[in-house]
Structure 1
Amino acid sequence: MAPRKQQDIFRATLGLLAEKGYEGLTVEGVAERSGVNKTTIYRWWPSKAALLAAALVEADVLAVEPPDTGSLRGDLESLVRGIAALLTRAPAADVAVAALGAAAHHPELAGAARRFFADRLAREEQVFERARRRGELREDADPMLIMDLLGGAVWLRTVFRGLPLDDGFAAEAVRAVLDGAAEAP
């Protein structure tokens, strides 16, 4: 399938998910919105769960390129701002919340959610590799834990608490993770 057509299908999938939720997402609706025959979609993805899984990982609309600011702190702040943008701006925010809800209620999507986050962590790994080479990060530091702490802070603040993120949130979250919050002895 041509990459442009595939992205049309993914955009249609994520758009319908954002508008109608997982229950309202249908292959027929995706076919109609993307201008592709539903048999073509089924040829590539055997179910709507498989289609959504592919869209979450491969859609351009959710793509995040790891930054290279020259410092770990700058890269992490940029990543936090990117996560915040995904969770606060349409259509990505609606997609993220709908996908999370669908994964919580539909076991067949739990694997898709794991693949989505594994893909993101694999892309972000280069940030940590560069930081280790520059001597900014301990060899035993856990990139997944760092990203869970930072990404989790954004999710909790924006999605679950419904609070806005001020301009200093990214820097403060990164400072708390890298420097800690306790007074030095």
Structure 2
Amino acid sequence: MERKSIDHTKSSRKPSGAAVMRPELTTALFRALFEEWATTGYAAVSLERVAARAGAGKAAIYRRWPSKLEFACEAIRSVEVMRLGSTDQGSLQADISEYLRATRAVLRHPLVRRIIPDLVAERLRSNELSAMLHGIGEARRQFGRRLLDRAIVRNELPADIDRELALDLLFSPLYSRMIVRGKSFTKAELDRLGNALHVAVKAC
């Protein structure tokens, strides 16, 4: 009887139809989402257009995220739009200066300057994005809390400082000028703001 040879190549093949989550495509989808979001606003974001921008099909989005909201939340987390490092600069004034410099760098990004106001506006119209916006704000404030904690340890600030007021003071001038008014800070202006905030935070 003739024996049939066994084709061992079949057993080594990967099963067809298995979804492979390519990280480079995920990154492209995030980038495409931000570009679409900055152009249309969150409410008008089309997942079909986002997928097309990324050179993919809509199914590539739904294999990764069950909804537009989940997609947007993970995209924000992936780039950590409002998160910064918290390296100790050695003094309260130096820490404030670094905080301002890093925050200005974030707020100067053209997509950030268009997406953040839209996030705020969407929260006023719907609660859908409230958790996302709260998460961004809380990450920023956590950075500020570490800054204040270091200053307290150095005896530069009293332990009973009004932390919430101090945190409001640190971020509000940059947000007001760069996001609300659409203007920027020169290095000299940022230095003057740092000096003013150093005095103001000590008075909290």
Which residue does the alignment assign to 1:156? 176
Query: In percent, how many aligned pairs have the same letter?
Result: 27
Mapped contact 1:11–1:59 kept (Cα < 8 A): no
Residue matched to 1:100: 120
- State the TM-score, normalizing by the size of structure 1: 0.78
* Alpha-carbon distance in structure 1 between the residues aligned to 2:95 and 2:63: 40
Deviation at 1:124, TM superposition (A): 4.0
Question: Structure 1: which amino acid aligns with 2:124?
Answer: A
Question: What is the rounded CA distance, in whole Å, between the counterparts of 2:161 and 2:24 in structure 1?
Answer: 39
Question: What is the alpha-carbon distance in structure 2 between the residues aligned to residue 106 and residue 114 of structure 1?
Answer: 14
State whether residues 7 and 59 of structure 1, in contact with CA within 8 Å, keep that contact through their aligned partners in structure 2. Answer: no
Paired residue total: 181
Q: 1:124 to 1:25 in 2, by over 3 A?
A: same
Structure 2 counterpart of 1:22, from 42, 59, 62? 42
Runs of at least 5 residues in structure 1 that lack an aligned partner in the other structure: none
Report the structure, 1 or 2, having the larger helix content.
1
Whether the 8 Å CA contact 1:7–1:60 is kept in 2: the answer is: no
Question: 1:68, CA displacement in angstroms?
Answer: 2.9
Structure 1 stretches (4+) deviating beyond 6 angstroms? none
For normalisation by structure 2, the TM-score amounts to: 0.72
Native 8 Å contact 1:18 1:95 kept in 2: yes
Q: Equivalent residue of 2:129, what SS?
A: helix
Report how far residue 80 of structure 1 moved: 1.6
1:126 equivalent in alignment to 2:158: no
Pair 99,72 (structure 1): closer, same or farther in 2 beyond 3 Å? same
Asked if 1:175 corresponds to 2:198, the answer is no
Displacement of 1:177: 3.3
Q: CA deviation at 1:37?
A: 4.3
Q: 1:148 to 1:7 in 2, by over 3 A?
A: farther
Instruction: Tell me what 2:33 maps to.
Output: 13
Conserved? CA contact 1:8–1:34, under 8 Å: yes
TM-superposed deviation, 1:92: 2.4
Task: Compute the displacement of 1:157 (Å).
Answer: 1.7
Describe the superposition over 1:71-124 as per-residue Cα deviations: whole angstroms up to 9, x where unpaired. Answer: 221121221222223223323222323333333333211221001111222344
Matches for 1:109-120 after TM superposition, within 5 Å? 109-120=129-140
* Worse overlay, 71-80 or 30-39: 30-39
Q: CA deviation at 1:147?
A: 2.7
Separation (CA, whole Å) in 2 of partners of 1:54 and 1:98: 17
- Alpha-carbon spacing, 1:75–1:39, altered in 2? closer, same or farther (3 Å): same
- CA RMSD of superposed structures (Å): 2.8
Letter in 1 for 2:129: L
